[in-house]
Amino acid sequence: MTTTLASTFTPEQKADLRARFLKVDTANVADVLDEMGHLDFGLASSFWPIRESQNKLAGWAYTIRGQMTPYAGTGDPEKMKAVAGLSEGEISVWSGGGASGVCFFGELIARGMQHRGCAGALIDGGIRDIEWIAQMNFPVFTQYRSPVQSIGRWGVNAWQVPVYLPGATAERVRVRPGDFILADFDGAIVIPIDLVETVLERSEALTRKEVAIREDLDAGMGLPEVLEKYGHV
């Protein structure tokens, strides 16, 4: 249950890449992926941030998969084993929930993750304790809210395996352990680990270009002149 992709980055490199991704927008990342011919890595618009003013969600995917299944007991030991493996700068990516109507993420598990250095959560399912989590400066994007707990109804069956999440332009987007997740006010997107450096460098260049365009527009340059100077953006 702990299969992972071998990372080509050191912890220091990962931290640096994450800090740089926090300075670019998902829109620019999406445009760069399109230019590179990778058209279907945007996630469904149904993922929403639990706090509109929260920080951007950015980090390396740590995948957790589950399913609806009845079971006895007062907890899910597999879930506890799964979250124990999270480390600094990772995003817990939860799959297998869909529209089940139950919550499998709340304040206590969020606090435990945050103490391990987890950078946030992306949840294809339900969440509760939103008011408390919103006070933690812990970014969370989720599909829906529900007070109904998952215990006895939904259980973790694997972690650190490839998972599927609903996509924006495709029915499903494959997320592997170690892929990069970026989410902001415009939505969420996946950057495959083998494309991370190239996508980031091109996104940073596009960001610099947009800064220059804004400066020219604010200085009084007309839009036709801007488009002639910089081309389409």
Give the total number of structural domains in the chain.
1
Q: Chunk the chain into consecutive blocks of 10 residues (it has 233) and report each block's average pLDDT, rounded to whole numbers.
A: 59 96 97 97 94 81 94 90 95 86 92 94 95 92 93 94 97 97 96 98 94 83 78 71
Q: Does residue 206 lie within any of the structural domains?
A: no
Q: Does residue 214 lie within any of the structural domains?
A: no
Amino acid 54: pLDDT? 64
**In the chain, where do the E strands start and end?**
48-49, 57-68, 90-95, 120-127, 140-145, 154-159, 163-166, 172-175, 180-184, 187-191
Q: Is 121 exposed, middle or buried (0-12, 13-18, 19+ CB in 10 A)?
A: buried
Dist. CA 16–CA 11, nearest whole Å:
9
Q: Does residue 226 lie within any of the structural domains?
A: no
Q: Does residue 2 lie within any of the structural domains?
A: no
Residues with Cβ within 8 Å of residue 114, at least 6 apart in sequence: 136, 138
Amino acid 11: pLDDT? 93
Dist. CA 122–CA 47, nearest whole Å:
8
Amino acid 221: pLDDT? 79
List phi, psi (to 5°) of 53: -95, 10
Amino acid 2: pLDDT? 42
User: Which amino acid belongs to residue 49?
Assistant: P
Q: Does residue 16 lie within any of the structural domains?
A: yes
Output DSSP code: residue 195.
G
Amino acid 53: pLDDT? 60
Concatenated DSSP letters for 21-39?
A: HTTS-HHHHHHHHHHTT--
Q: Does residue 162 lie within any of the structural domains?
A: yes
What CATH number did the domain enclosing 159 receive? 3.50.30.40
List phi, psi (to 5°) of 189: -145, 155
List phi, psi (to 5°) of 145: -115, 150
Q: Does residue 204 lie within any of the structural domains?
A: no
List phi, psi (to 5°) of 180: -105, 140
Q: Does residue 225 lie within any of the structural domains?
A: no
pTM surpassing 0.95?
A: no
81 lies in which domain range? Answer: 11-194
Dist. CA 174–CA 150, nearest whole Å:
24
Amino acid 52: pLDDT? 64
Amino acid 168: pLDDT? 97
